[in-house]
Copies of this chain bind each other. A is one copy, B any other.
Amino acid sequence: MTDSKPHRIKPQTLRGFRDFLPDQMMAREQLIETARTVYRSYGFAPIDTPALEYAEVLLGKGGDESDKQVFRFQDQGGRDVAMRFDLTVPLARFSAQHAQQLGTPFRRYHIAPVWRGERPARGRFREFMQCDFDTIGTLSNSADIETLFVINDLLEQIGIERFTIRVNNRRVLNGLLERTGAQQQAVAILRALDKLDKIGRDAVCREMTEQSGISTQTAEQVLNMAQLNGTPDQILLQLETMLRGSETGEQGLQDLKQLFDCVAHCGWPQDRVRLDVAIARGLDYYTGTIYETVLGDLPEIGSVCSGGRYDNLADLFSAQQLPGVGASLGLDRMLAALEELGLMQTSTTPAQILITMMDPDRIPEYLQLGRRLRQRGISVEVYPEARNFGRQMKYADRRGFRCCIIAGSDEFAAQQWLLRNLADGTQTVISDAAAEAEIAQQLAATSAG
């Protein structure tokens, strides 16, 4: 059915959307696998929800600006549908819908793509992956502390050596605002405070007075409290004095103290966890502990893993109160960081060995050796054609195989294979009878050396 095609379609992706070639995709799969393993080690279980939902389920929570970014349309049945723009709203709908069956506490992770029609920019895409984990249905600070542990293990397992998890508590912030008499303007003040890193103290002070109507003096007072310096213990001590008498503030402080008490037993490097009263997280819905994670060697890219505690996940969908705490790994940002830090693998093949093909009449022999090696747990690709040997070597080199196996008429006559180490060009003669054992041994030796 291959007619001539005079009018070919230009092969292109939409703006803000990406293809992932093997080298990129292998790095992505590895990162996702690490996240999955760490989440699972704490008892978080996977879930998935549809890419498409009723528009009313997804909209109306984020405000007009974010609603405009949603990919929304009428389906064939005339339903008003939309593509999910995050994994939190679907989790809220999911939790309300399956509450009975799930029970509480409920720990889930969800690793899936989301879509936003934002203006594409460097590092900002219209399709990207989210890697969320949450503990739902408990108010216990134990879940907050474990959220911190998960973030730590995640970064460690990814292979990052120097990073700092900045912790704060919205109750502490609210307590401090009470002290200044500005608690009514909390949302606008905290939204401004959250920009401290980006726009600096003066600009934040200006935004606070303009957006929330507080005096410059009060704004300065808030900023002074937020910019407390020192070890967590020193800051906690100062906060204790400042928050005395504020019930909200004292509760938040209690939780932070317990968290830092646990951290003290972890044996982590100093500065692994910092108490930073200036972080507020933009989202309105956090109500307790909040987290941000910055890389020691690449702080300018911003937080790679953020989250916090919220009072009520699903109030759009259910009368049941569902408090929770969780965080999300920024997959694309983390991959960009790994690339910049030289921590990304560069191979474009998942197989270690290429069996080259010299004699097309020996296809059964080449394929059979491949099978024998795979049964031994060795990944192996068989080059499918008896092309020019130099071309096969170029292919092996470009794809990043560690070794290749060669056999022509001489080797078949002698019941042997040649194993060539592609890093140094050395060759070893391998007997066919014990090929899988000898090759496994050679591989182990080269990877140890």
Contact = CB atoms under 8 A, between A and B. Distances in A.
A434 interface: no
Interface stretch (A224-232, A260-268, A297-305, A326-334): A260-268
Interface in A122-161: 126-127, 135, 138-143, 145-146, 149, 153
A198 interface: no
Interface in A66-110: 68-69, 71, 73-77, 79, 81, 83, 93-94, 96-98, 101-103, 105, 107-108
B149 A371 contact: yes
Nearest to A145: B367
Given A41-B379, A318-B8, A384-B135, A2 B46 contact: no
A339 interface: no
A178 interface: no
A57 interface: yes
A384 B140 contact: yes
A330 to B, nearest CB: 18
Contacts of A312: 2
A149 B316 CA distance: 51
A9 B315 contact: no
A12 B379 contact: no
A296 interface: no
A102 B384 contact: no
Contacts of A317: 8-11
A319 interface: yes
A350 B126 CA distance: 32
A233 interface: no
A364 interface: yes
A212 interface: no
Contacts of A42: 351, 370, 374, 379-381
| Candidate in A15, A94, A102, A140 with the most chain B CB atoms within 10 angstroms | A140
A53 interface: yes
Contacts of A79: 14
User: Which among A10, A28, A42, A350 has the greatest number of chain B C-beta atoms within 10 A?
Assistant: A350
A18 interface: yes
Nearest to A104: B395
A17 interface: yes
A49 B102 CA distance: 33
Given A93-B11, A350-B40, A45 B71 contact: no
A71 B52 contact: yes
> Which 7 A-B pairs rank lowest in CB-CB distance, beginning with the nearest?
A43-B381, A73-B73, A22-B45, A43-B351, A17-B50, A40-B350, A11-B97
